[in-house]
Amino acid sequence: MPNGSTAHEALAVVFQVQQATGQVKGAHQTAKPQLNVLLWQRAQHPQRGAWALPGGLLRNDEDLITSVRRQLAEKVDVQELTHLEQLAVFSDPHRVPGARMIASTFLGLVPSPATPELPPDTCWHPVSSLPPMAFDHGPMVTHARARLVAKMSYTNIGFALAPKEFALSTLRDIYSAALGHPVDATNLQRVLARRGVITQTGTIAQSGRSGGRPAALYHFTDSRLRVTDEFAALRPPGP
């Protein structure tokens, strides 16, 4: 017989590439940007104090995409989301205590310059060092990261993580953080330009304190997701 008490929730795995914080080695060195995920800390049992993905119960009068957008706006005020797509369904009967709860996860991306206003119980955490996570939310983050890594290779999804205009060094840092391995700026430019993903704006960046030749600025040619090379893979550098 069908389980009449089954409920459905929509959860968002929202990523942003941010400058790493902490101690800096050397006076002239800066920490490398890293991929962060948005989490909020549970205030009630079960698993009070554990960190969880933003989201919640699906209402009877809404679809999943409407639900996740509503709950992001209500709970974490993420107004600058540049990409949102459904990822997977987690339906283990015992994934949460009590009545059965099915979860649909979504991948959300926020560009680097955005600074969404967050409530006190919500903050960004490095994907490489997640805090104690509630229920099965840790595997959900892992799954979403794997999907992002794959799409960074064969689509133009980088547009959702990057500023509107950027130097190649900035784009290199964003791709390196998202992929989890170093990326060469020259090779990245060659690949993305050949696919028609990025083009020069015709302007240059302002010179920094160290001087040097100003960097040319680029932008993504599209601000909607499209497949650019379905068999491509941006792999780590060889030994």
CATH number of domain containing 200: 1.10.10.10
CATH of the domain at 93: 3.90.79.10
**pLDDT at residue number 92:** 96
Spatial distance between the Cα atoms of 200 and 187, rounded to a whole number of angstroms = 16
**pLDDT at residue number 1:** 36
CA nearest 111: which of 167, 55, 171? 171
The rounded radius of gyration (Å) of the Cα atoms in the chain is 20
| Cβ-contact 169, 201 below 8 angstroms | no
Spatial distance between the Cα atoms of 215 and 160, rounded to a whole number of angstroms = 22
Structural domain boundaries enclosing 56 = 7-20+32-153
**pLDDT at residue number 209:** 55
Task: Check whether residue 129 and residue 211 sit in a common domain.
Answer: no
Q: Of 153, 185, 208, which closes a domain?
A: 153
Q: What is the tally of structural domains in the chain?
A: 2
Task: Check whether residue 97 and residue 209 sit in a common domain.
Answer: no
Task: Check whether residue 43 and residue 130 sit in a common domain.
Answer: yes
**pLDDT at residue number 189:** 94
Task: Check whether residue 48 and residue 93 sit in a common domain.
Answer: yes
Residue 231 belongs to some domain of the structure:
no
Low-confidence residues in the chain, pLDDT < 70: 1-4, 21-30, 207-212, 238-239
**pLDDT at residue number 30:** 61
Task: Check whether residue 62 and residue 147 sit in a common domain.
Answer: yes
Ordered strands of the 198-204 beta sheet: 166-167, 216-220, 198-204
Task: Check whether residue 143 and residue 169 sit in a common domain.
Answer: no
Task: Check whether residue 97 and residue 65 sit in a common domain.
Answer: yes
Task: Check whether residue 137 and residue 167 sit in a common domain.
Answer: no
Digit-coded pLDDT (tens) for 25-39: 454 456 789 999 999
Task: Check whether residue 87 and residue 119 sit in a common domain.
Answer: yes
Residue at token pair 């999804």? 157
Task: Check whether residue 166 and residue 139 sit in a common domain.
Answer: no
**pLDDT at residue number 4:** 59
**pLDDT at residue number 21:** 65
Residue 233 belongs to some domain of the structure:
no
Q: Of 153, 174, 190, which closes a domain?
A: 153
Measure Cα distances from 146 to 47, 70, 230 in Å: 26, 25, 16
Residue 237 belongs to some domain of the structure:
no
Task: Check whether residue 210 and residue 165 sit in a common domain.
Answer: yes
Residue 2 belongs to some domain of the structure:
no
Residue 83 belongs to some domain of the structure:
yes
Task: Check whether residue 119 and residue 52 sit in a common domain.
Answer: yes
**pLDDT at residue number 5:** 78
